[in-house]
Amino acid sequence: MGLLWRMPQRLGTLTRVRRYPFKSMAGEDLTEGWVSFAGVSGDRVFAFVDPQARPGFPWLTARQLPGLVCYSARFTNPPGSDEKYPSPSRFRVSVATPGGDVYVLDERGSEGEDARELVSDLGAETGRPVRLRFSEKGMHDSNPVSIVSGASIRAFEAEYGAPLAPERFRANFYVDWERPDPFVEDSLVGRRLRVGEKLELFVVKRDPRCIVIDVDPATGEKGKGLLATVGKLRQGCAGVYAVPVREGTVRAGNPIALAD
């Protein structure tokens, strides 16, 4: 008699897939996306390097320039989810500033005229000699996929005492768990998840937060209190980090199940 096949235990649903073409700028929702071992295709492939940044963290981000979150970055001809390993030239990006200026950048980094102008403008605004960097692997703070649940955001919101835009948490995957209580994702550290048909993720650790979550993604204004709220409720962590251990395409609405 053969072994009985058992359906993986469903944990929840992937409600939203997001990537951030430019580190610290506004992100974009994806109907579907390819996730390689480096993360969501096109996620954080552009960034500004700040030589005056703290040791071990070379980036100019919304920590130093909160208004960066109001810059909009979109790929001009983004690779489809069937392009598993696109050429770097496919990540040509259009950056719109809050003031209405538009710059088009590509994988050449700071070599293009638009790139030089944008770097010059930001350097003048910050007083720092910043430069542009491109990496098709992405430039993540830690592990390449970040996950947070709607229930967790609502719990922070209740303690904070005001509505919170989910975009403050800058996650790649927003999820709703079958269990209605918050912080379910924290209990999955050390577990392996399947998202959709093929993608598998290993949940590495909780996601330690910084002052960027205090920045309003709509206005770029830096408020106070949310980071302290996260510190009070969850020791400064909100959501989890994961690494892909099997590549695959994901779509909003995909089921999430245990794979271990």
Q: What is the pLDDT of residues 68-118, one digit of tens each?
A: 999 999 999 999 888 998 999 999 999 999 999 999 999 887 778 898 999
CA-based angle 166:242:215, to the nearest 5? Answer: 30
Q: Which CATH number covers residue 175?
A: 2.40.33.20
Instruction: Look at residue 1 and tell me if it is in a domain.
Output: no
Which is nearest to 65 in space by CA: 170, 225, 222, 227?
Answer: 222
Specify the pTM: 0.93
pLDDT attached to residue 1: 43
Contact 11, 178 (CB under 8 A): yes
pLDDT tens-digit map of 213-255: 999 999 999 988 999 999 999 999 999 999 999 999 999 999 9
Which is nearest to 152 in space by CA: 160, 141, 144?
Answer: 160
Instruction: Look at residue 2 and tell me if it is in a domain.
Output: no
Instruction: Look at residue 5 and tell me if it is in a domain.
Output: no
Instruction: Look at residue 30 and tell me if it is in a domain.
Output: yes
Instruction: Look at residue 4 and tell me if it is in a domain.
Output: no
Residue range 16-39: mean pLDDT, rounded: 96
Residue range 142-164: mean pLDDT, rounded: 97
Instruction: Look at residue 226 and tell me if it is in a domain.
Output: yes
**Region of poorest pLDDT, from 122-136, 154-168, 186-200, 225-239:** 122-136
Report helix, strand or coil for 42: coil
Contact 200, 248 (CB under 8 A): yes
Number of domains in the chain: 1
Instruction: Look at residue 3 and tell me if it is in a domain.
Output: no
Instruction: Look at residue 219 and tell me if it is in a domain.
Output: yes
Banded pLDDT at 3 (limits 50, 70, 90): low
Residue-number span of the structural domain to which 199 is assigned: 10-258
